[in-house]
Chains A and B, each alone.
Chain A
Amino acid sequence: MSDEKKAPDLSRRKFIKNSGYVAGGAIGGGILTSLIGTSVWNGDQKTAPETTTNNADSYNRALMYFRRRKDFEILSAATERIFPEDENGPGAIALGAPYFIDHQLAGGFGNNEKEYTRGPFSEGTDYQGYQSPLKRHEIFSAGIQAMERESQENYGTSFVDLEGEQQDKILQKFQDNKVKMKHVSSAYFFDQLRTATLSGVYADPLYGGNANMDGWRMKEFPGSQMSYIQQIESEEFIDIEPSPLKDHL
């Protein structure tokens, strides 16, 4: 891997964090898409190679659940605060976690497949778990709207235009269950958003996140290895190039 991965340019990061979404929001998805691809990690997204071995440029970097670009941008900004880019390496956006979440919301995850969804519904105690009639995709959509509403009410501007610390304050309110949402607690929404973000960061790249297995590289997790029987007794830490599930086909 290139050294740039370990030590990204700080001024560039700041640019992406604080003005990337403005550009994306104002100008259009094409620019946003290039900004939030892993191509930023190549040092200059304008000259990112057309063909790469990672999934950054793949055709599935498109939306199958969200209808409005703006909603996806808000989601993206929130995931980046949950798992920000730092000296360890890329954040949720560069890893493709927002696309992962979009795709999951369109399928079984978003539609509470294999979950008990029959009524009657009542709120229950703090120990009885999730009891809302809402589907997960409805909660994400409502949560994103609530984040935007909080931003407009408190700062008079869109969530995507806020400074990172301001976005954090709003997310913290959600986690602390201090935002009113219909038929669901904001803490539950936040917990789902957090788990989905981490899943997008660390799930096998086949799901559209964890671009170039960089989530795994940061954690020094070798992915899907067939066997460690020759290494398990080693006193030394062994650096292993990660392997994705696609290598099993």
Chain B
Amino acid sequence: MVKTLDKVDVVTVGVGWAGGIIASELGKAGVKVVGLERGENRSTEDFQMVHDEYRYAIRYDLMQDLSKETITFRNNPGETALPMRQFGAFLIGTGVGGAGTHWNGDTWFFSPYDFEIKTMTDKKYGKNKLPKEYLIQDWGITYDELEPYYEKFEKMAGTSGELNPLRPERTRDYPTPPMKSTPMLDRFEKAATNLGLHPFRLPSANISEAYTNPDGQTLNQCQYCGFCEKFGCEYGAKSTPNVTVIPTALKTNNFELRTHANVVGIHHDGKRATGVRYVDVQTGEEFDQPADIVVLTSYTVSNARLLLLSDIGKPYDPNTGTGVIGKNYCYHITPVVTGFFKDKFNASMGAGSLGTTLDDFNNDNFDHSDLDFIHGGSITMKQLGKRPINENAAPKGTPNWGKEFKQKSIEYFNRSIPVTSQGTSLPHRNNYLSLDPTYKDAYGNPLMRLTYDFTEHDHKLHDFISERCAEILHEMGADKVETRDLMEHFDIVPAHNDHITGGVIMGEDPETSALNNYLQMWDMDNVFVIGASAFPHNGGYNPTGTVGALAYRAAEGILKFKEKDGQLVKAKDSSRA
């Protein structure tokens, strides 16, 4: 027996950064919003026992319950996908705040090159720079158009940082100064400068000093306790939805947060959505929540999956290259180069986005004429705070158990540090999301099927960036410098990177994208889909800053749509426009 509830203006599916931003912005404008979140509520008080590596980083206390829902995976369309039964390559958050609760906090803004990657690559390197299997396309928006929304996000989040010498288009300062530096980060900066590179402090959501945002929410000063990624912050010193946009939304009295509510479908008549159906995960009761506007604000795979389950938008077909839902699934290619030093440093002290970074090998900041790849990645040394179960770096040739392992992993615990990169991941024709024909979730609905493998481009980019990382570590005086090889094929087991993107991408043409540049669906005017799912490719920076900026833009779009029904953007180059 499904219970039908009273209609609301807007319903969001998921309450993380995207859902929180929509709720706060619409709530402030007097719009009634219901936020449906499958997980539980939580706030700073829930993290009093958070300094527990085993509970949070090994047993994944804050992550999705895979017994209820997971994905299936295969490397290519010729294989049979099987369920990801345990977490490995990437983690998926859950609960109020979503991945925004347990993120490290690197707060980036994508480059002008990212947003116009197709046009600018063709112009500079010709139309045949990449094989045609790589589906790069412009985003339907420029950096300049998105800049004001990045500003909104950063001011809300209190981002700590300093200007990037290689991004002159940005002139506005960060709301708070950079975090403290450390001896190891100072050495990275000096070595990079010696090599003629342009290091600067990593923009961070671990806030360098107490900050009150324009909504009146106060963030506290980061204590450098070393428990950020996979953990919540017990100080309220990391910008998360839980301490910013969600309390702001609740303060308006226009936002109702409904937890343990797992959305299983969107109701629609083919032209417009009329609401959503959800299951109370504690009792099994089903509810229909009618709404004028439906906003999907879940994680990448969940956004695409709900559209496919609800038969909204045309599913992508890799054989014909037609359709859009599930298309342009991307990742982050993650070079990790470890420096082993003779000196000892305070490796346990740190913060999630305490780091120094450089952009010399990112975007189109270096000439790719003689290289067989495009783009690159930010190169960063971070002092995250090492934890002992997971951190057992030892020079190559050391066994991973036994006497020598013990000796070396102890010796190098405070004497090694990696330089890493968020390497750009380009869309490939065969990398996509679709519904699995066999495996189901706890509610009987098909799981999302991921078809993904590393591409030749990934390998070339990875190896090039790894060499640059190694050069810096050598200049820093590392005793040994060791690179990690990119596996020939993507493997669902070893931890690689949590940044998965695409599947419901934005663009300028309904034939090749699902959303316009307000993240409004081309095929259904009153559905907006917000998240890294909207990225046509994943650039050389961590994604959250761009998710936040796009969410602020979508909030503005929703308010416009409430004023005047219909498409907010005229499609380009399309027979359907």
* Residues A127 and B492 in contact, CB atoms below 8 Å apart: yes
The verdict on B495 contacting chain A, using a C-beta distance below 8 Å, is: no
Assembly CA distance A165 to B325 (angstroms):
56
Pick the most buried of B65, B386, B403, B491: most chain A CB atoms within 10 A of its CB: B403
* Residues B67 and A113 in contact, CB atoms below 8 Å apart: yes
A106 to B: closest C-beta gap in Å: 14
By secondary structure, the B interface counts as loop
The verdict on A248 contacting chain B, using a C-beta distance below 8 Å, is: yes
Scan residues 137-177 of chain A and give those whose CB is less than 8 A from a CB of chain B: 168, 171, 175
**B residues near A234, Cβ cutoff 8 Å:** 183, 346
* Chain B interfacial residues counted at CB < 8 A: 65
Stretch at the interface among A22-30, A67-75, A195-203: A195-203
The verdict on B17 contacting chain A, using a C-beta distance below 8 Å, is: no
Assembly CA distance A219 to B84 (angstroms):
33
Contact of A204 among B54, B344, B489 (CB under 8 A): B54
Stretch at the interface among B73-81, B264-272, B370-378, B458-466: B73-81
* Residues B490 and A127 in contact, CB atoms below 8 Å apart: yes
Assembly CA distance A128 to B439 (angstroms):
15
- Chain A residue at smallest Cβ distance from B440: A118
The verdict on B224 contacting chain A, using a C-beta distance below 8 Å, is: yes
Scan residues 328-376 of chain B and give those whose CB is less than 8 A from a CB of chain A: 344-346, 348-350
The verdict on A59 contacting chain B, using a C-beta distance below 8 Å, is: no
* Residues B180 and A232 in contact, CB atoms below 8 Å apart: yes
Interface range on chain A: under 10, 10 to 19, 20 to 34, or 35 or more?
35 or more
* Residues B75 and A222 in contact, CB atoms below 8 Å apart: no
**A residues near B493, Cβ cutoff 8 Å:** 127, 129-130
Stretch at the interface among B285-293, B387-395, B469-477: B387-395
A204-B53, A232-B350, A245-B52 known; A130+B225 contact, CB < 8 A: no
The verdict on B60 contacting chain A, using a C-beta distance below 8 Å, is: yes
* Residues A219 and B85 in contact, CB atoms below 8 Å apart: no
Pick the most buried of A81, A120, A195, A233: most chain B CB atoms within 10 A of its CB: A233
* Residues A116 and B84 in contact, CB atoms below 8 Å apart: yes
**B residues near A116, Cβ cutoff 8 Å:** 66-67, 70, 83-86
* Residues A171 and B401 in contact, CB atoms below 8 Å apart: yes
**B residues near A51, Cβ cutoff 8 Å:** none
Contact of B349 among A91, A206, A232 (CB under 8 A): A232
Assembly CA distance A219 to B271 (angstroms):
61
* Residues B402 and A199 in contact, CB atoms below 8 Å apart: no
A249 to B: closest C-beta gap in Å: 8
**A residues near B54, Cβ cutoff 8 Å:** 199, 203-204, 207
The verdict on A235 contacting chain B, using a C-beta distance below 8 Å, is: yes
Scan residues 375-427 of chain B and give those whose CB is less than 8 A from a CB of chain A: 386-389, 392, 400-403, 406-407, 409-410, 413-414
The verdict on A62 contacting chain B, using a C-beta distance below 8 Å, is: no
**B residues near A219, Cβ cutoff 8 Å:** 388, 409-410, 413-414
Assembly CA distance A185 to B439 (angstroms):
23
* Residues A109 and B88 in contact, CB atoms below 8 Å apart: no
The verdict on B142 contacting chain A, using a C-beta distance below 8 Å, is: no
The verdict on B574 contacting chain A, using a C-beta distance below 8 Å, is: no
* Residues A232 and B182 in contact, CB atoms below 8 Å apart: yes
* Residues A227 and B224 in contact, CB atoms below 8 Å apart: yes
B282 to A: closest C-beta gap in Å: 16
Assembly CA distance A238 to B182 (angstroms):
13
* Residues B348 and A221 in contact, CB atoms below 8 Å apart: yes
Assembly CA distance A229 to B222 (angstroms):
8
A88-B410, A232-B180, A233-B180 known; A128+B74 contact, CB < 8 A: yes
Assembly CA distance A95 to B572 (angstroms):
66
Assembly CA distance A168 to B493 (angstroms):
25
The verdict on A49 contacting chain B, using a C-beta distance below 8 Å, is: no
**A residues near B489, Cβ cutoff 8 Å:** 127
The verdict on A226 contacting chain B, using a C-beta distance below 8 Å, is: yes
Pick the most buried of B70, B349, B409: most chain A CB atoms within 10 A of its CB: B349
Contact of A231 among B53, B67, B349 (CB under 8 A): B349
**B residues near A91, Cβ cutoff 8 Å:** 406
A14 to B: closest C-beta gap in Å: 14
Contact of B223 among A128, A222, A226 (CB under 8 A): A226
The verdict on B221 contacting chain A, using a C-beta distance below 8 Å, is: yes
* Residues B223 and A245 in contact, CB atoms below 8 Å apart: no
**B residues near A81, Cβ cutoff 8 Å:** 401-402
Assembly CA distance A226 to B224 (angstroms):
9
A84-B406, A219-B413 known; A109+B86 contact, CB < 8 A: no
* Residues B406 and A83 in contact, CB atoms below 8 Å apart: yes
**A residues near B48, Cβ cutoff 8 Å:** 248
A129-B493, A245-B49 known; A233+B181 contact, CB < 8 A: yes
Q: Could you give, for residues 531-558 of chain B, a 1 whenever the CB lies within 8 Å of some chain A CB and a 0 otherwise?
A: 0000000000000000000000000000
The verdict on B123 contacting chain A, using a C-beta distance below 8 Å, is: no
* Residues B345 and A237 in contact, CB atoms below 8 Å apart: yes
A114-B66, A116-B67, A233-B180 known; A220+B403 contact, CB < 8 A: no
- Chain B residue at smallest Cβ distance from A228: B349
- Chain A residue at smallest Cβ distance from B400: A194
Scan residues 56-115 of chain A and give those whose CB is less than 8 A from a CB of chain B: 81-84, 86, 88, 91, 108-109, 112-115
Q: A115-B66, A222-B348, A238-B346 are in contact. List 5 more A-B contacts (CB 8 A).
A: A86-B407, A129-B491, A202-B389, A207-B54, A221-B387
**Lowest 4 A-B CB distances belong to which pairs?**
A224-B51, A203-B54, A227-B223, A228-B349
Sample 28 A-B pairs with CB under 8 A, ordered by A number.
A83-B401, A84-B402, A84-B403, A86-B407, A109-B59, A114-B60, A114-B66, A115-B86, A116-B85, A118-B83, A125-B75, A126-B491, A127-B75, A130-B493, A131-B82, A197-B401, A202-B388, A204-B53, A206-B52, A222-B348, A223-B51, A225-B226, A227-B225, A228-B349, A232-B180, A232-B224, A233-B183, A237-B345
